[in-house]
Amino acid sequence: MKWLFGLLLVAGALVAVAGTIFIFFGREQTWRTIAGDPDLGPFDLTAPERSGRPNDALLCTPGLCDGAAVDAELPVYAMAPGDLIDALRQAIEAQPDRKRRVDDGSDAAALRYVTWTETMRFPDTNQFLAVDLGEGRTGLIAYARAQLGYSDAGNNRARLQRWTGAFPAANPSGD
In this structure, the answer to whether residues 24 and 47 fall within a common structural domain is no
**Residue 170 lies inside a defined structural domain of this protein:** no
What per-residue confidence (pLDDT) applies to 82?
Answer: 96
In this structure, the answer to whether residues 27 and 78 fall within a common structural domain is no
What per-residue confidence (pLDDT) applies to 122?
Answer: 81
Least-confidence region, from 74-78, 118-122, 132-136, 154-158: 118-122
Residue 35 has pLDDT above 60, yes or no: no
Long-range contacts of 47-54 (CB under 8 A, 24+ apart): 48/141, 48/143, 51/145, 53/150, 53/151, 54/150, 54/151, 54/152
In this structure, the answer to whether residues 91 and 75 fall within a common structural domain is yes
At 134, is the pLDDT very low, low, confident or very high (cuts 50, 70, 90)? Answer: very high
What per-residue confidence (pLDDT) applies to 175?
Answer: 47
Instruction: Count the alpha carbons within 13 Å of 160 in the hemisphere toward its beta carbon.
Output: 30
**Residue 175 lies inside a defined structural domain of this protein:** no
At 31, is the pLDDT very low, low, confident or very high (cuts 50, 70, 90)? Answer: low
At 14, is the pLDDT very low, low, confident or very high (cuts 50, 70, 90)? Answer: confident
**Residue 171 lies inside a defined structural domain of this protein:** no
Cβ neighbors of 27 (< 8 A, separation 6 or more) are: 116, 120, 121
In this structure, the answer to whether residues 120 and 63 fall within a common structural domain is yes
Domain that holds residue 28: 1-36
What per-residue confidence (pLDDT) applies to 105?
Answer: 92
> Are the C-beta atoms of residues 94 and 100 closer than 8 Å to each other?
no
**Residue 55 lies inside a defined structural domain of this protein:** yes
Number of domains within the chain: 2
Task: Report the alpha-carbon distance of residue 8 to residue 13 in Å, rounded.
Answer: 8
Residue 165 has pLDDT above 80, yes or no: yes
In this structure, the answer to whether residues 4 and 87 fall within a common structural domain is no
Task: Report the alpha-carbon distance of residue 53 to residue 56 in Å, rounded.
Answer: 7
The CATH code of the domain that includes 97 is 3.30.310
In this structure, the answer to whether residues 106 and 130 fall within a common structural domain is yes
At 57, is the pLDDT very low, low, confident or very high (cuts 50, 70, 90)? Answer: very high
**Residue 107 lies inside a defined structural domain of this protein:** yes
Residues 154-161 have a mean pLDDT of: 92
Predicted structure pTM score: 0.79
In this structure, the answer to whether residues 3 and 74 fall within a common structural domain is no
Rg (CA), the chain: 20
% of the chain beyond a pLDDT of 90: 47
DSSP per-residue codes, 63-126: TSSTTS--SEE---BSS-HHHHHHHHHHHHHHS-SEEEE-S-S--TTEEEEEEE-TTT--EEEE
**Residue 174 lies inside a defined structural domain of this protein:** no
> Are the C-beta atoms of residues 92 and 99 closer than 8 Å to each other?
yes
